[in-house]
Amino acid sequence: MGSRKKQMADAIKEGNKLVAFAKLNNCPTSPRKMRLVADLVRGEKVEKALNILKFNQKEASAKLEKLLLSAIANWQSKNEEVSIEDAELVVTEIRVDGGAMLKRLRPAPQGRAHRIRKRSNHVTIVVGAKNNTQS
């Protein structure tokens, strides 16, 4: 039984070498605005995704570009023997989740107050080799 578990663990480790991820937590942009940019690069090759993010004018694209470069560097540190060009890296998954919300009050007419919600988000990017993905 012990050898079988070791074989499974080794197989999982080999599978994890093919993918790398990077996370950005508590980014002070609303998740809706970040998802607009994230949808542009989902499933794209890494080189094309970097070009899309570089020339997009939204503020969120600069943060996603930096995060994507981090994920690429993480992949490179796991796979030093393979070059990025040979692997044909792809953005396999990009997820934008809501983060903590700062709640503020803004004065409104007739003595009322309106709640202002300053939203933040968490972004996770997963990059992997193209031969590993099922697209």
DSSP class of 101: -
Residue 14 lies in a domain: no
Taking the C-alpha atoms of residue 81 and residue 87, their distance in angstroms, rounded to an integer, is: 11
The answer to whether position 51 is within a domain reads yes
Residue 10, domain member (yes or no): no
Torsion of CA 33, 39, 44, 47, to 10 degrees: -10
Q: Residue 41: inside a domain, yes or no? A: yes
Q: What is the pLDDT of residue 84?
A: 78
Q: Name the one residue in this structure whose structure tokens are 């409104």.
A: 108
Number of domains comprising the chain: 1
Q: What's the confidence (pLDDT) of residue 80?
A: 85
Cα dihedral 82/79/55/118 (nearest 10): 170
Q: Is 13 among the domain residues?
A: no
How far is the CA of 96 from the CAs of 5, 87, 117, in angstroms? 34, 26, 18
- Asked whether residue 11 is domain-assigned, the answer is no
3-state DSSP assignment of residue 94: strand
pLDDT of residue 85: 78
H-type helices in 31-131, by residue range?
Answer: 31-41, 46-55, 59-78, 84-87
Domain at 25, CATH number: 3.90.470.10
Q: Tell me if 24 is assigned to some domain.
A: yes
In a domain, 7, yes or no: no
Grouped pLDDT means (10 residues each) for the chain, 135 residues:
78 81 96 97 95 96 97 91 84 96 97 97 93 52
Where in the sequence is the domain holding 83, given as residue range(s)? 19-132
Quote the pLDDT of residue 81: 83
Q: What is the pLDDT of residue 135?
A: 42
